[in-house]
A and B are shown apart, each in its own frame.
Chain A
Amino acid sequence: DAKTTQPTSMDCAEGRAANLPCNHSTISGNEYVYWYRQIHSQGPQYIIHGLKNNETNEMASLIITEDRKSSTLILPHATLRDTAVYYCIVGRRYGNKLVFGAGTILRVKS
């Protein structure tokens, strides 16, 4: 499976959009981009995933570049409760055997 590169940490003001980047330059054609987050040592929580089209759900939006080598997770109106570690993962369809890296620590500040 392709590896991903994410910034170690980011800050965001409460109420503003949080844009979390992820590079996955070795992604293959049948691999999806998955985003999970982990709040305060709880179990990770699924956020969103996509193949090549942009995706949106009630939690976030996922923007994937046309060449699929990078993506951005967007939390449109960050709240303090969005402070967490965010993991960008590349994996096959069904997203079962996923490899988690160190992720990005997002700190939302008031």
Chain B
Amino acid sequence: NAGVTQTPKFQVLKTGQSMTLQCAQDMNHEYMSWYRQDPGMGLRLIHYSVGAGITDQGEVPNGYNVSRSTTEDFPLRLLSAAPSQTSVYFCASSYLALTGGRNNSPLHFGNGTRLTVT
């Protein structure tokens, strides 16, 4: 059971370059989200999705785009990278509703992508 898989693990970009951080989950979770974590700080929500074709903004959406064409995948796109986007990015997923006898739906996190923008 792979859980939440993020690729790449590490990435270095130059200012102005674009790239896509990949996130895939194999648990059939409806909900997926992206967080960023800066040194000594908690996680801040960038974007989230409650199902295929539906996305919404979190606390810090500027500079990032997302799409959700399938249940399994939720890529995060940086259109023009800036040094302020140097961070560790985490993808998380969960069920949206308490069905099938579940009494909770915790967030499952990937192991992160460490991005440096020079």
Contacts and interface: CB of A to CB of B under 8 A. Distances in A.
Interface of A: 34, 36, 41-46, 49, 87, 93-103
B96 interface: yes
A95 B103 CA distance: 11
B74 interface: no
Contact of A44 (B48, B104, B109): B109
A94 B45 contact: no
Contact of A95 (B4, B105, B109, B111): B105
Contacts of B71: none
A110 B94 CA distance: 36
A96 B107 contact: yes
Interface in B65-118: 88, 90, 92, 94-98, 104-112
A94 B96 contact: yes
Contacts of B48: 96-97
A49 B104 CA distance: 8
B25 interface: no
A47 to B, nearest CB: 9
Given A44-B90, A102-B40, A95 B45 contact: no
Contact of B41 (A45, A93, A102): A102
B107 A41 contact: no
Contact of A43 (B4, B31, B45, B59): B4
B58 A100 contact: no
A99 B45 contact: yes
A46 B35 CA distance: 15
A42 B107 contact: no
A96 B105 contact: yes
B94 A100 contact: no
Given A96-B33, A97-B33, A97-B58, A43 B42 contact: no
Contacts of B42: 87, 99-103
